[in-house]
């Protein structure tokens, strides 16, 4: 094969940086899945809203400040949207069968998808990363864009933050307890409905953060929700439903197989991660790491 | 077998059929087309309901088999220049074979894992169809599938599709009422007990998937007969969820519910689509209303309200 090592190396790094975004998004998905036991189909739409909000914020506040502001505010916008949806509608369904909750999130994704179209229109949008991230850096002879390098730093930071949050704070512990045994959590006098609300909003916040981080690397369009959510589900499934580290492992598998697919067989690059998922599911149907279910 | 149908309902269906037979010359062409589209979609929804409503499996990517049937038919005619009858026979079999392959892996798992494995296997097929330009023309799809001239007019296509739609419905009803169909519903309601009395649960489930995907393949063929084109969106998971909603809308636990669901969805999409481009917004709102107020679907609600107790075919599993 005529691939030189630096091409492989930089493709590896690009794949790794994409995995980081996938991880941030799917960690949120996995969190909701773990606590509420609902595969949130609207997660992709919230990710899309994150990207579009980031676009609007950078339009309002030009320059580097706008970008950093977008990274902070866009996830909060998404969290607000999901909070409204949860308290107004979703929280009344917790007693119903599982399928209804799933279909509710699908209905929500349909509605949010069209609301995005109404608010932002159907044209392609794009965001420029701050000047700071122009150009590329080279690591061991492989060069990657500076922005991807930034993502490589952000990913582990978020992972550590999530770990600290879920294992060291009271709220995180309550959420984890609710994932394992919700009756017990209720029995010790904690309002489970609000724990669910918090988990849902927190998961959606992560979707918004992922969308805002992703925005400078892609063209922001309608339909980005559909592509993402299916990848997200597969990632959390192969990782182990509800397991946050599983989301990390799944994201790495997905992002890296996709990146190497681009290198080896560009036309069918999209087939590689799906094949990897099928292989994992055949070998370990319940995912690589332990599911919280 | 048909004795379970009351005289009243036989009469009702006979009148409905006669009405459908005399409609095309009277109706404007556009309405005939919509009706035909409803038949195709209804057949697809019915085939899904065999697995979901009666089988209790999370068949989340049923659209794939619809797409496989449509693509197989289109490719056989367009690329291999096979005669119509051969394509018509082969395409559903190919769809059923795809159903067998995917189902063989899926029935090993349950609930959400079943759904996820099916979505990943289905997405794999979608990705191949989407990317394999040399064979499938990728996202351009195939347009102008060569069909015999007698199918070129909408009203002829209408009669052709209506014939196969009714034929499939009768066969599906017979399967639904057969010992196999009854066993399947028993498995849905209590898999552990069925397994304990010696029923091979997985084999029955796989069989149901193969039969259902065969009918999905027929629906795919009929889609091509109507539209003369195929495109990768037929295999995309959004369509799969839409048919899922049709089953819910009409009523899971009734036999004919999905027809109603498909009719409502197609009609709404067409007529709402004339006034607004935000059709999915309306579908989403409708779905939420449905979840809150009519969880057993329109047909389920009607049956509950007006039907006699014997018509209730199964209580929904409350979880």
The pLDDT value recorded for residue B287 is 86
Are B261 and B319 part of one and the same domain? Answer: yes
Q: Does any CB of chain B come closer than 8 Å to the CB of residue A84?
A: no
Q: Which band of pLDDT confidence, cut at 50, 70 and 90, is reported for residue B65? A: very high
Are B133 and B275 part of one and the same domain? Answer: no
- Residue ranges of alpha helices (H) inside chain B are 7-26, 29-52, 63-78, 84-106, 111-131, 133-136, 154-177, 179-189, 191-196, 201-227, 237-250, 257-275, 279-293, 297-306
CA gap B269, A115 in Å, rounded: 17
User: Residue A142, SS3?
Assistant: strand
**What is the DSSP annotation of A196-219?**
HHHHHHHHHHHHHHHHHHHGGGS-
Q: Is residue B30 part of a domain?
A: no
Phi, psi (degrees; rounded to nearest 5) at A138: -115, 135
The pLDDT value recorded for residue B266 is 92
Q: Is residue B21 part of a domain?
A: no
* Choice between B319 and B71, residue whose per-residue pLDDT is larger: B71
Given a contact cutoff of 8 angstroms between Cβ atoms, the answer to whether A232 and A25 are in contact is yes
Q: Does any CB of chain B come closer than 8 Å to the CB of residue A4?
A: no
Q: Is residue B219 part of a domain?
A: yes
Report the number of distinct structural domains present in chain B.
2
Question: Considering B235, B257, B277, which residue would you say is the last residue of a domain?
Answer: B235
B280 and A100 within 8 Å at the Cβ level: the answer is no
Q: Is residue B35 part of a domain?
A: no
Are B189 and B71 part of one and the same domain? Answer: yes
Tell me how close the Cα of B280 comes to any Cα of chain A, in angstroms. Answer: 6
B128 and A268 within 8 Å at the Cβ level: the answer is yes
B281 and A110 within 8 Å at the Cβ level: the answer is yes
Are B298 and B198 part of one and the same domain? Answer: no
Structural domain boundaries enclosing B298: 237-319
Q: Is residue B314 part of a domain?
A: yes
The pLDDT value recorded for residue B319 is 33
CA gap A237, A30 in Å, rounded: 9
Tell me how close the Cα of B281 comes to any Cα of chain A, in angstroms. Answer: 4
Mean pLDDT computed over every residue of chain B: 86
* Choice between A139 and B184, residue whose per-residue pLDDT is larger: B184
Number of Cβ within 10 Å of residue B180's Cβ equals 14
Least confident of B12-16, B90-94, B311-315: B311-315
Tokens of A157: 């930071």
Tokens of B177: 């009422």
Q: Which band of pLDDT confidence, cut at 50, 70 and 90, is reported for residue B311? A: very low
The pLDDT value recorded for residue B3 is 53
User: Residue A174, SS3?
Assistant: helix
The pLDDT value recorded for residue A131 is 80
Question: Considering B177, B202, B235, which residue would you say is the last residue of a domain?
Answer: B235
Q: Is residue B90 part of a domain?
A: yes
E strand intervals along chain A: 136-139, 142-145
Given a contact cutoff of 8 angstroms between Cβ atoms, the answer to whether B19 and B243 are in contact is no
- Alpha carbon B132 to its chain's center: 26
Are B156 and B206 part of one and the same domain? Answer: yes
Are B218 and B286 part of one and the same domain? Answer: no
Given a contact cutoff of 8 angstroms between Cβ atoms, the answer to whether A70 and A247 are in contact is no
Find chain B residues with C-beta within 8 A of A39's C-beta: 112
The pLDDT value recorded for residue B316 is 45
Are B184 and B53 part of one and the same domain? Answer: yes
Does the pLDDT value for residue B137 go beyond 50?
yes
User: pLDDT tens for residues B238-259?
Assistant: 899 889 888 888 887 788 889 9
Spatial CA neighbour of A74 closest among A103, A42, A111, A47 = A47
The structure's pTM equals: 0.85
Q: Which band of pLDDT confidence, cut at 50, 70 and 90, is reported for residue B312? A: very low
Are B224 and B303 part of one and the same domain? Answer: no
Chain B residues with CB within 8 Å of chain A CB: 105, 108-109, 112-113, 116-117, 119-121, 123-124, 127-128, 130-133, 236-238, 241, 244-245, 248, 277-278, 280-281, 283-285, 287-288, 291-292, 295, 316-319
CA gap A29, A18 in Å, rounded: 17
Are B99 and B217 part of one and the same domain? Answer: yes
| Torsional sign, CA B217, B221, B223, B228 | positive
- What residues of chain A score a pLDDT lower than 50? 1
Q: Is residue B138 part of a domain?
A: yes
**What number of CA atoms fall less than 13 Å from residue A278's CA on the CB side?**
17
Q: Which band of pLDDT confidence, cut at 50, 70 and 90, is reported for residue B131? A: confident
Distances from the Cα of B40 to the Cα of A205, A207, B220, B274, angstroms: 41, 37, 8, 21
Least confident of A138-142, B54-58, B85-89, B196-200: A138-142
Are B119 and B189 part of one and the same domain? Answer: yes
Question: Considering B235, B266, B290, which residue would you say is the last residue of a domain?
Answer: B235
CA gap A144, A10 in Å, rounded: 6
Are B252 and B124 part of one and the same domain? Answer: no
Are B121 and B167 part of one and the same domain? Answer: yes
B133 and A234 within 8 Å at the Cβ level: the answer is no
User: pLDDT tens for residues B219-235?
Assistant: 999 999 999 999 998 99
């Amino acid at each position: 094969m005529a691939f030189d090592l630096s091409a492989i190396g930089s493709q590896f790094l690009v794949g790794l940086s994409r995995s980081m975004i996938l991880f941030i998004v799917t960690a949120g998905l996995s969190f909701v899945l773990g606590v509420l036991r609902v595969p949130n189909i609207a997660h992709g739409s919230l990710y899309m809203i994150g990207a579009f909000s980031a676009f609007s914020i950078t339009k309002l506040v030009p320059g580097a400040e706008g970008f950093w502001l977008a990274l902070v505010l866009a996830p909060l916008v998404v969290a607000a949207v999901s909070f409204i949806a949860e308290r107004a509608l979703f929280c009344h369904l917790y007693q119903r069968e599982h399928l209804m909750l799933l279909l509710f999130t699908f209905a929500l994704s349909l509605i949010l998808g069209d609301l995005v179209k109404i608010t932002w229109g159907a044209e392609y949008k794009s965001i420029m990363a701050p000047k700071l991230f122009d150009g590329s850096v080279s690591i061991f002879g492989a060069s990657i864009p500076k922005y991807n390098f930034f993502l490589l730093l952000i990913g582990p930071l978020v992972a550590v933050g999530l770990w600290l949050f879920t294992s060291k704070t009271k709220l995180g512990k309550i959420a984890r307890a609710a994932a394992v045994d919700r009756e017990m959590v209720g029995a010790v006098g904690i309002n489970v409905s609000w724990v669910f609300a918090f988990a849902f909003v927190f998961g959606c916040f992560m979707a918004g953060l992922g969308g805002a981080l992703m925005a400078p690397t892609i063209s922001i369009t309608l339909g980005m929700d559909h592509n993402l959510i299916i990848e997200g589900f597969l990632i959390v499934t192969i990782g182990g439903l509800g397991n946050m580290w599983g989301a990390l492992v799944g994201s790495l598998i997905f992002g890296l197989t996709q990146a190497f697919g681009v290198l080896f067989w560009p036309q069918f690059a999209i087939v590689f991660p799906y094949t990897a998922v099928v292989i994992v599911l055949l070998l370990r149907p319940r995912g690589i790491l332990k599911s919280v279910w | 077998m048909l004795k379970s149908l009351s005289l009243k309902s036989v009469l009702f269906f006979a009148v409905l059929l006669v009405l459908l037979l005399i409609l095309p010359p009277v109706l404007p062409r556009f309405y005939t087309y919509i009706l035909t589209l409803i038949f195709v979609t209804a057949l697809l929804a019915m085939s899904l309901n065999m697995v979901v409503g009666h089988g209790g499996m999370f068949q989340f990517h049923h659209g794939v088999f619809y797409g496989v049937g449509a693509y197989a038919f289109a490719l056989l005619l367009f690329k291999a220049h096979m005669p119509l009858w051969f394509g018509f026979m082969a395409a559903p079999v190919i769809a059923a074979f795809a159903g067998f392959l995917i189902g063989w892996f899926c029935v090993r798992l349950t609930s959400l894992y079943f759904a996820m494995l099916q979505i990943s296997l289905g997405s794999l097929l979608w990705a191949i169809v989407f990317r394999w330009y040399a064979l499938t023309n990728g996202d351009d799809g195939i347009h102008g599938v060569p069909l015999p001239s007698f199918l070129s007019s909408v009203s002829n296509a209408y009669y052709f599709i209506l014939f196969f739609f009714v034929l499939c419905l009768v066969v599906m009803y017979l399967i639904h009422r057969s010992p196999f169909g009854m066993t399947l519903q028993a498995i849905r309601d209590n898999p552990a007990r069925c397994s304990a009395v010696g029923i091979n649960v997985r084999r029955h489930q796989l069989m149901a998937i193969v039969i259902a995907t065969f009918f999905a393949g027929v629906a795919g063929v009929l889609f091509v007969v109507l539209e003369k084109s195929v495109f990768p969106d037929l295999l995309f998971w959004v369509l799969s969820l839409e048919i899922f909603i049709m089953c819910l809308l009409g009523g899971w636990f009734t036999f004919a519910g999905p027809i109603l669901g498909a009719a409502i969805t197609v009609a709404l999409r067409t007529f709402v689509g004339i006034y607004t481009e935000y059709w999915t917004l309306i579908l989403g709102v409708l779905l939420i209303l449905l979840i809150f107020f009519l969880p057993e679907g329109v047909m389920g609600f009607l049956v509950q309200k007006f039907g006699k107790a014997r018509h209730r075919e199964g209580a929904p599993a409350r979880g």
